[in-house]
Structure 1
Amino acid sequence: MVSLSSISFALALLLFIRFLLSSKKRRLPPCPPALPFIGHLYLFKKPLHHALVRLADRHGPVLLLRFGSVPVLVVSSSSAAEECFTTNDVTFANRPNLPSGKHLSNNYTTLGTSNYGPHWRNLRRIATIELLSSPRLLSSTDVRAEEVHELARRLFLNSKGGTSEGFVKVELKSWLFELALNIMMRMIAGKRYYGNDAGVSEEARQFREIVEAAFSLGGTSNLGDFLPMLRWVDFQGVRKRLVSLQKRRDEFMQRLIDEYRNASLEIKQEEEAEKKKKKNMIGDLLLLQKTDPEYYTDQTIKALCFSLLQAGTDTSSNTIEWAMSLLLNNGEALTKVREEIDARVGNERLVEEADLSNLPYLQCVIAETLRLYPAGPLLLPHKSTSECAVEGYSIPQGTMLLVNAYYIHRDAKTWEEPAKFKPERFENGKGEGKWMIPFGMGRRRCPGEGLAMREVGLALGTLIQCFEWKRVGEEEVDMSEGPGLTLPKAVPLEAMYSPRQAMINILAGL
């Protein structure tokens, strides 16, 4: 009698033979030698985008790898990436939904993790129209201005109000992170956690721990995602930590919703309640909940708010930190930005968001920073829903797509002196037509680009307008990259600063 295991083995063998026969008819992308079971996982060291750079240099810009049991298309050229996000944009609009992502994505239903379809389109509509549209961003201009001014005020006081002799040393990373958290939390829940000379509350401490843990675990390589045999073992302890973090995050976000809901009930005048609800994202979403309670559940609101929060904090603060590091290592560019601000804004008031379009060199500095150090060096992974062609190669259905933006931004075929910080390459439209994708491309392009550019431009412009900056010593700022999804600096930025004499009266009045 034929056993069940024999039948299973025979079926697996037939499927494997069928795959080999079909693959001979197709022109698959180049594939470096792989090991049994683990595929190409043995080739990777952190940070992953650098490991993929080495593979692209050796084997070409379009590669078909295997992460354990998962086929992965790695794209490292602008032409191939453009084909993925134009001709094949719908084909690659899905996410791979890796097992470890289930816990922090509300079972793959968040804006960043849900597959292309009605639910994702509705979340995208909410984000782009209800929360992050130009009119919405215009209505929250004061929030960003107040938080950037508060950062300037705190730095001014930290320097003893400009009365200390010489420069004061500051570690900027934590200040910038707190700025980004304050901006996002005020836009989401109308709350500020840092500043106003108040001590850090227990709620703020918990909040920061949750956000930092989410960033850390989001960048953790979980072998169980690619090796099914390890999924039940959890020898890395990732699943246990994810489950714990999910519980803490949901409880925290639910408290924010309940707090807002209860505060609204205490307001007797309906008109005042409606006005209050329009001041932040939770209020906007609770209004939508009244119209469609089955769709806009508390769980949906929590997941959407936290995904926007997570996407809008570390990315922006890291970009400002990289920009300041680059400017400190390139004093001529720093001087040029300051002179532009002095000439076009002056010293009688602080930089405003409305000024940013009139500060072209500052915009060039930000563009060059995003070119060299994109907040997502590897774009979030996509997955093909059907077989397609990229650069003449056949790409099988169910293939994960990784686009190496870091490599594309430094491709010597596109950029002269690609590793050099040169904002002038973007002056007077010279950068037009040269491919950059720091916010992705196509249907899954980041909806928060407008917010990020406003926040980074305002914060960077204010820091340069208000303070003199220099390196801690003679040596250049360490530009080593740390591991993580959002390309953090390996060594947090420390710098020397002093309030500019022309700005002391303005700073003292904040």
Structure 2
Amino acid sequence: MDTLHYTSFFFITILLLLSRLLLRHRRFNPKTLPPSPPSLPFIGHLHLLKTPRNFSINSISKLYGPVVSLYLGSRHALILSSLAAAAEALIKNDTLFSNHPNFKVGQPLGYNNTTMFFTPFGPHWRNLRRLTAVELFSTRRLNLLSDIRSNEFLSLVRRMIDSSGEIELKARLFEMTYNSMSKMVVGKRFYGENLEVDIEVANRFREVIIQEGLALVFSFNPRDFFPFLGWLDLLGLGRRMERLRPKVDKFLSDDKQRRQRRNDQAAAADDDDGREAAKEEKEKKRTLVNVMLSMQETDPETYTDDLIKGQILTVLTGGTGVDGGDCKGDDAVNAEPPRDNEEGEDGD
């Protein structure tokens, strides 16, 4: 019993000392900061960000203005709630605001922070962003792949017409969006009728990537806001990530191997058929994975297996309008203030 009391006293003392240091640092910080709500010791303004986060942020902005300074644990953040403020930060000073902290989930599920979502701002990030923008979101590719979106929309309408009961529209819209994105990325749809994969593969995808993967990527992790507590896995999220990593890796590896075999078969078929119509059809069927596999053949050191798998996971989890429900998901209104170069390269 005495040991328990001494342990509790030790942790309380440490927390009080850390809180005092944080408050002193903020009080004597010479930088002029935007207005900020009253904060609590140690946790800062985390208690103000209740779910749904966008409602909480909107309430704070109405009280304190279009630019608000927040302390989320030991992290300093800004709320930008006006078009002018967002343009100032994200367009005029985009390079200053482009970086972000290293989130703990980026190690096991972000392939050691090498994916576009987790990697620091720099040449590697710009290369991945350019690749994704050109192959998925350029005007030419969007026009070329418009049939995918049209077919998914028609499929949604047919399912709604055929349904005799109530329809959960939010879930149906998510399925439509996810099918459209997965078709562009890996050439497959995983929801609804006429699946292009085995039902077992589709179920495993939904379980591993959607139910478990997205839940962990967008979970509130105390270690993201208190890096000095990295050794303490309070909510067990670290253990869950480590258990999930092999499942995600196996699924993505199997899919990559199947795609590689199809690429080899398609290359052999191209030697026999050089018609223009066949080339256009091949262009429509080209996916992001196909492009990265082709790049891997010419530059295997840059486009590694982990990079390809991580990019697949990033696009599938980040491009479907997921309800993140936490601070990491509110990118439109939440930005990290610029830091000095020494601080910006800190890896916590």
TM class by shorter chain equals: 0.7 to 0.9
Larger radius of gyration: 1
Question: Alignment partner for residue 52 of structure 2, among 44, 47, 57?
Answer: 47
TM-score (norm 1): 0.54
2:299 alignment counterpart: 292
Q: Does 1:172 align with 2:169?
A: yes
Displacement after TM superposition at 1:19 (Å): 5.1
Instruction: Provide the C-alpha distance between the structure 2 equivalents of 1:31 and 1:157, rounded to a whole number of angstroms.
Output: 52
Instruction: Provide the C-alpha distance between the structure 1 equivalents of 2:60 and 2:26, rounded to a whole number of angstroms.
Output: 24
TM-score (norm 2): 0.76
2:37 alignment counterpart: 32
Displacement after TM superposition at 1:92 (Å): 0.6
Displacement after TM superposition at 1:21 (Å): 8.4
1:136 alignment counterpart: 141
Question: Alignment partner for residue 23 of structure 1, among 23, 29, 46?
Answer: 29
Instruction: Provide the C-alpha distance between the structure 2 equivalents of 1:380 and 1:250, rounded to a whole number of angstroms.
Output: 32
8 Å contact kept, 2:45–2:71: yes
Instruction: Provide the C-alpha distance between the structure 1 equivalents of 2:66 and 2:133, rounded to a whole number of angstroms.
Output: 33
Displacement after TM superposition at 1:296 (Å): 1.2
Instruction: Provide the C-alpha distance between the structure 1 equivalents of 2:50 and 2:27, rounded to a whole number of angstroms.
Output: 34
8 Å contact kept, 1:147–1:183: yes
Letter in 1 for 2:311: L
In terms of fraction of residues, the more helix-rich structure is 2
After superposition, the C-alpha distances for 1:193-243 in whole angstroms (9 at most, x for unaligned) are 344467971111111122233332233211121223532221211112222
* Structure 1 residues 44 and 147: alpha-carbon distance in aligned structure 2, compared to 1, 3 A threshold: closer
Letter in 1 for 2:339: S
Which region of structure 1 is more displaced relative to structure 2, 296-305 or 212-221? 212-221
Instruction: Provide the C-alpha distance between the structure 1 equivalents of 2:24 and 2:163, rounded to a whole number of angstroms.
Output: 69
SS at match of 1:269: helix
Instruction: Provide the C-alpha distance between the structure 1 equivalents of 2:296 and 2:333, rounded to a whole number of angstroms.
Output: 29
8 Å contact kept, 1:29–1:64: yes
* Structure 1 residues 28 and 190: alpha-carbon distance in aligned structure 2, compared to 1, 3 A threshold: closer
8 Å contact kept, 1:384–1:397: no
Instruction: Provide the C-alpha distance between the structure 2 equivalents of 1:192 and 1:381, rounded to a whole number of angstroms.
Output: 32
Instruction: Provide the C-alpha distance between the structure 2 equivalents of 1:111 and 1:189, rounded to a whole number of angstroms.
Output: 17
Question: Alignment partner for residue 152 of structure 1, among 154, 157, 177?
Answer: 157
Instruction: Provide the C-alpha distance between the structure 2 equivalents of 1:287 and 1:107, rounded to a whole number of angstroms.
Output: 23
Instruction: Provide the C-alpha distance between the structure 1 equivalents of 2:221 and 2:169, rounded to a whole number of angstroms.
Output: 31
Q: Does 1:116 align with 2:69?
A: no
1:367 alignment counterpart: none
Q: Does 1:242 align with 2:241?
A: yes
Letter in 1 for 2:262: A
2:12 alignment counterpart: none
After superposition, the C-alpha distances for 1:69-99 in whole angstroms (9 at most, x for unaligned) are 2222222233322211233211111122222
Instruction: Provide the C-alpha distance between the structure 1 equivalents of 2:40 and 2:247, rounded to a whole number of angstroms.
Output: 39
1:70 alignment counterpart: 75
1:186 alignment counterpart: 183
SS at match of 2:76: strand
Displacement after TM superposition at 1:257 (Å): 0.7
What aligned pairs does 1:66-105 form with structure 2 within 5 A after superposition?
Answer: 66-105=71-110
After superposition, the C-alpha distances for 1:167-202 in whole angstroms (9 at most, x for unaligned) are x53233333332223222222222233444679711
Displacement after TM superposition at 1:156 (Å): 3.8
Displacement after TM superposition at 1:20 (Å): 6.7
What aligned pairs does 1:45-444 form with structure 2 within 5 A after superposition?
Answer: 45-158=50-163, 168-196=165-193, 201-209=199-207, 210-266=209-265, 268-271=268-271, 279-315=286-322, 378-379=331-332, 382-386=335-339
* Structure 1 residues 185 and 78: alpha-carbon distance in aligned structure 2, compared to 1, 3 A threshold: closer
Which region of structure 1 is more displaced relative to structure 2, 64-73 or 141-150? 141-150
Instruction: Provide the C-alpha distance between the structure 2 equivalents of 1:16 and 1:223, rounded to a whole number of angstroms.
Output: 17
Unaligned runs of 5+ in 2: 1-17, 324-328
* Structure 1 residues 312 and 228: alpha-carbon distance in aligned structure 2, compared to 1, 3 A threshold: closer
After superposition, the C-alpha distances for 1:423-452 in whole angstroms (9 at most, x for unaligned) are xxxxxxxxxxxxxxxxxxxxxxxxxxxxxx
SS at match of 1:97: coil
After superposition, the C-alpha distances for 1:20-44 in whole angstroms (9 at most, x for unaligned) are 78634x3222233333222222333
Letter in 2 for 1:193: F
Instruction: Provide the C-alpha distance between the structure 1 equivalents of 2:162 and 2:156, rounded to a whole number of angstroms.
Output: 10
After superposition, the C-alpha distances for 1:359-394 in whole angstroms (9 at most, x for unaligned) are xxxxxxxxxxxxxxxxx6552854344359xxxxxx
Instruction: Provide the C-alpha distance between the structure 2 equivalents of 1:211 and 1:186, rounded to a whole number of angstroms.
Output: 16
SS at match of 2:56: helix
2:5 alignment counterpart: none
8 Å contact kept, 1:103–1:246: yes
* Structure 1 residues 52 and 147: alpha-carbon distance in aligned structure 2, compared to 1, 3 A threshold: closer
**Identity in percent:** 36
After superposition, the C-alpha distances for 1:326-368 in whole angstroms (9 at most, x for unaligned) are xxxxxxxxxxxxxxxxxxxxxxxxxxxxxxxxxxxxxxxxxxx
Instruction: Provide the C-alpha distance between the structure 2 equivalents of 1:39 and 1:17, rounded to a whole number of angstroms.
Output: 9
Which region of structure 1 is more displaced relative to structure 2, 209-218 or 252-261? 209-218
Letter in 2 for 1:23: N
8 Å contact kept, 1:56–1:76: yes
After superposition, the C-alpha distances for 1:42-63 in whole angstroms (9 at most, x for unaligned) are 3332222322233333333322
The alignment's C-alpha RMSD in Å is 3.4
* Structure 1 residues 201 and 21: alpha-carbon distance in aligned structure 2, compared to 1, 3 A threshold: closer
Letter in 2 for 1:98: F
8 Å contact kept, 1:106–1:303: yes
